[in-house]
């Protein structure tokens, strides 16, 4: 078994020499085997037991302390202190504790004892539930590593027996009320009876599956920049669907069906600005990209003179001056105060907004200005709009209106400027 685990570590680059590992230790067979293997491979390892607060755990804690003493390692004992109800809440709380201790203790990795049986059970559960997110448990995700993920439960138990290592049994693993237990006790034995090579074939297929996922991960951006339409179109139709499906899964809790994928894919041939709904969110085409829309909440705030209003990560400020400006730039605008219809307001963009641009005749819709400057849709709501009582007089940092220009008769000059962090 040692050789198989070492091969998994190498193939999936789980560890490098000198890495310090914190094991999520339950005192069960998987975590005991993981500890023994890592100690045999001479990786610096400590353990952390998390008490879920659901039942007495003194025997488990005692065994944890015995193993820590046996190997001369550190043993953390932690307890979940929130009232977690569901299995998912407990899991999140447990991983939260492990991450906190890992960060505080300077550990490079968090070792979890998931094995090949866990992998199979998880895939079958997702199929039964009709989940569209049927994918293997990854051997590595960020700091989490699973060195036993290609080892069966039987192999682990034989290893423990050969090493004469003690472990605790979780009585809830025998209860037929849990779907996972039914799959373990009834479904998997039938699959093995039908195909004795089931484990090996599934392990090989999972490797291919993970390689495919790695390819998609390399294509799909992680930074929120959205999908590059030109890049998507270089792939054939089935690959495009897979890219879009995975991107949707990674960016929203909504599991996309075929209709949702088709709607998003239609944006690759749509005009810029076209949007489609995905769950409670929207996906938009912005020029040569597809991205999730993050729309700023509408706002309208009065700007006193002198005064300042905070808008998002920036501010709009104003004051009255008497000296004429010697230079002009995009983030500052000057107006003849007496020609304005006060009060002034700073607000967000509204669909249908227009401005009478300085130096031009007539009106121009802000949407045309956005398109000319190729301003992404999600940023349009973040650009402050300055108005007086009757019309837009300045698009901050972009365009001044022609109302209230400075002339020889101007006595009071209103200076307005936009600052960003």
Using alpha carbons, select from 271, 226, 274 the residue that is nearest to residue 248.
226
pLDDT of residue 185: 85
Please say whether the structural domain 220-292 has been given the CATH code 1.10.1040.10. no
pLDDT of residue 214: 78
CA distance 143 to 98: 10
CA distance 385 to 396: 6
pLDDT of residue 22: 97
Q: For tokens 């034995």, what's the residue?
A: 189
pLDDT of residue 285: 86
* CATH code of the domain made up of 2-195: 3.40.50.620
Region of 224 (left: φ > 0; alpha: ψ -120 to 50; beta: rest) is left
CATH 3.50.40.10 location in the chain:
300-420
CA distance 42 to 10: 15
Per-residue pLDDT tens listing for the chain (421 residues):
999 999 999 999 999 988 999 999 999 999 999 999 999 999 999 999 998 766 667 888 999 999 999 999 999 998 887 665 677 778 888 899 999 999 999 999 999 999 999 998 888 888 887 665 667 888 998 899 999 999 999 999 999 999 999 999 876 666 665 788 888 888 889 998 999 998 889 889 888 888 887 778 778 876 567 888 998 899 999 889 989 988 888 777 667 888 889 989 999 988 877 778 787 777 888 888 898 876 666 788 899 999 988 876 678 999 999 888 887 788 899 999 999 999 999 998 888 999 999 988 899 999 999 989 888 877 788 889 999 999 999 999 899 999 999 998 998 999 999 987 6
pLDDT of residue 100: 93
Using alpha carbons, select from 386, 385, 358, 389 the residue that is nearest to residue 370.
385
CATH 1.20.59.20 location in the chain:
220-292
Q: Give Cα separations from 380 to 100, 251, 364, 377 (angstroms).
A: 39, 22, 16, 5
pLDDT of residue 174: 65
pLDDT of residue 132: 56
Q: Cα 162 from chain centroid?
A: 43
Please say whether the structural domain 300-420 has been given the CATH code 3.40.50.2000. no
CATH 3.40.50.620 location in the chain:
2-195
CA distance 99 to 84: 18
pLDDT of residue 337: 94
């Amino acid at each position: 078994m040692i050789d198989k685990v070492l091969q998994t570590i190498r193939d999936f680059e789980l560890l490098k020499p000198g890495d310090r590992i914190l094991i999520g230790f339950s005192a069960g067979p998987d975590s005991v085997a993981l500890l023994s293997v890592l100690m045999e491979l001479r990786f610096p390892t400590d353990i952390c037991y998390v008490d879920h607060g659901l039942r007495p755990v003194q025997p488990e804690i005692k065994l944890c302390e015995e193993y820590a003493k046996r190997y001369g390692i550190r043993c953390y004992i932690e307890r979940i202190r929130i009232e977690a109800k569901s299995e998912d809440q407990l899991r999140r709380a447990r991983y939260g504790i492990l991450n906190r201790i890992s960060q505080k203790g300077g550990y490079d990795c968090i070792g979890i004892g998931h094995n090949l049986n866990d992998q199979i059970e998880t895939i079958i559960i997702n199929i039964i539930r009709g989940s569209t997110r049927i994918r293997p448990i990854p051997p590595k995700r960020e700091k989490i590593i699973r060195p036993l993920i290609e080892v069966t439960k039987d192999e682990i138990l034989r290893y423990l027996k050969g090493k004469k290592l003690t472990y605790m049994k979780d009585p809830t693993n025998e209860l037929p009320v849990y779907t996972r237990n039914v799959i373990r006790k009834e479904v998997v034995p039938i699959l093995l009876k039908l195909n004795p090579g089931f484990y090996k074939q599934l392990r090989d297929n999972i490797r291919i599956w993970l390689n495919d996922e790695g390819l998609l991960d390399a294509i799909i951006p992680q930074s929120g920049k959205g999908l590059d339409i030109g890049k998507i179109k270089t792939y054939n139709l089935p690959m495009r669907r897979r890219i879009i499906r995975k991107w949707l899964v990674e960016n929203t809790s909504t599991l996309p069906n075929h209709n949702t994928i088709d709607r998003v894919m239609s944006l690759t041939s749509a005009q810029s600005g076209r949007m489609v709904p995905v769950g409670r969110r929207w996906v938009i085409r912005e020029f040569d990209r597809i991205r999730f829309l993050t729309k700023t909440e509408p706002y309208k705030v009065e700007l006193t003179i002198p005064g300042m209003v905070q808008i998002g990560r920036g501010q709009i400020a104003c004051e009255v001056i008497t000296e004429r400006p010697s230079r002009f730039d995009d983030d500052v605008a000057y107006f003849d105060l007496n020609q304005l219809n006060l009060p002034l307001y700073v607000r967000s963009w509204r669909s249908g907004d227009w401005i009478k641009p300085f130096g031009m005749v007539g009106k121009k819709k802000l949407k045309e200005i956005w398109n000319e400057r190729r301003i992404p849709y999600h940023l349009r709501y973040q650009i402050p709009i300055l108005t007086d009582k009757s019309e837009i007089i300045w698009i901050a940092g972009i365009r001044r209106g022609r109302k209230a220009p400075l002339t020889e008769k101007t006595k009071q000059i209103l200076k307005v400027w936009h600052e960003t962090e």
